[in-house]
Amino acid sequence: QELPNGKTAIEIGLKHGDDLQVTPKNMRVNVTMPDGSKIPLDITPQDTSMDIKKQIANKTGMKPAIQILKKDQQELPNGKSALDMGLQDGDELEVEPKSLTVHVTMPD
């Protein structure tokens, strides 16, 4: 249950040794896409870079496998949470497409 604001521990019945679970609030980050468009995303501190890429894919159609997610021109590591990556409410992120190498053989 959510604890009421402005109440003391005694008023809400907390006792020595009680356990509390803290749920971090959501954060909003703004993502700049390769075409310059910006999309806002609501993320949690537990969301990984892959979770963020999936949200981007849902909004833009750009598959996570071809996204390079960056903050301040530095690629964000895969598998780490937003909290571990130091993301904060209001941060600006960028997405770049992964380059694709193609070998073409021309007929003689």
Report pTM. 0.72
| Least confident segment among 64-68, 88-92, 101-105 | 101-105
Domain boundaries, given as residue ranges, for the chain: 27-97
What does the buried/exposed string (b/e) look like for 59-82 if buried means 16 or more CB atoms within 10 Å of the residue's CB? Answer: ebebebeebebbbeeeebeeeeeb
Q: What is the pLDDT of residues 5-50, one digit of tens each?
A: 788 888 888 889 988 877 668 999 999 999 999 999 999 999 999 9
Q: The CATH number of 27-97 is which of 3.30.420.10, 3.10.20.90, 3.40.50.300, 3.40.30.10?
A: 3.10.20.90
